[in-house]
Chains A and B, each alone.
Chain A
Amino acid sequence: DQQVKQNSPSLSVQEGRISILNCDYTNSMFDYFLWYKKYPAEGPTFLISISSIKDKNEDGRFTVFLNKSAKHLSLHIVPSQPGDSAVYFCAARPSGAGNMLTFGGGTRLMVKP
Chain B
Amino acid sequence: EAGVAQSPRYKIIEKRQSVAFWCNPISGHATLYWYQQILGQGPKLLIQFQNNGVVDDSQLPKDRFSAERLKGVDSTLKIQPAKLEDSAVYLCASSLGKGAYYGYTFGSGTRLTVV
User: Do most interface residues of chain A lie in helix, strand or loop, or is the interface mixed?
Assistant: loop
Question: What 0/1 readout, one digit per residue, does chain A (84-113) give for beta carbons within 8 Å of chain B?
Answer: 000001010100001111111110000000
Number of interface residues of B (CB under 8 A): 28
Q: Is the CB of B41 within 8 A of A98?
A: no
**Which of A9, A32, A104 is B101 in contact with, Cβ under 8 Å?**
A32
11 additional A-B residue pairs with CB within 8 Å, beyond A32-B101, A44-B43, A100-B56: A42-B108, A43-B106, A44-B91, A46-B103, A98-B48, A98-B55, A99-B31, A99-B98, A100-B48, A100-B55, A103-B44
Q: Decide yes or no whether B107 CB sits under 8 A from chain A.
A: yes
| A–B pairs, 17, beta carbons within 8 Å | A9-B40, A32-B101, A43-B4, A43-B108, A46-B104, A49-B101, A98-B50, A98-B55, A98-B98, A99-B104, A100-B33, A100-B45, A101-B45, A103-B43, A104-B42, A105-B42, A106-B40
Chain B residue, CB-CB nearest to A46: B103
Question: What 0/1 readout, one digit per residue, does chain A (33-62) give for beta carbons within 8 Å of chain B?
Answer: 000000001111110010000000000000
Question: What 0/1 readout, one digit per residue, does chain B (81-115) give for beta carbons within 8 Å of chain A?
Answer: 00000000001010101110111111111000000
Chain A residue, CB-CB nearest to B10: A41
A60 to chain B, nearest CB (A): 17
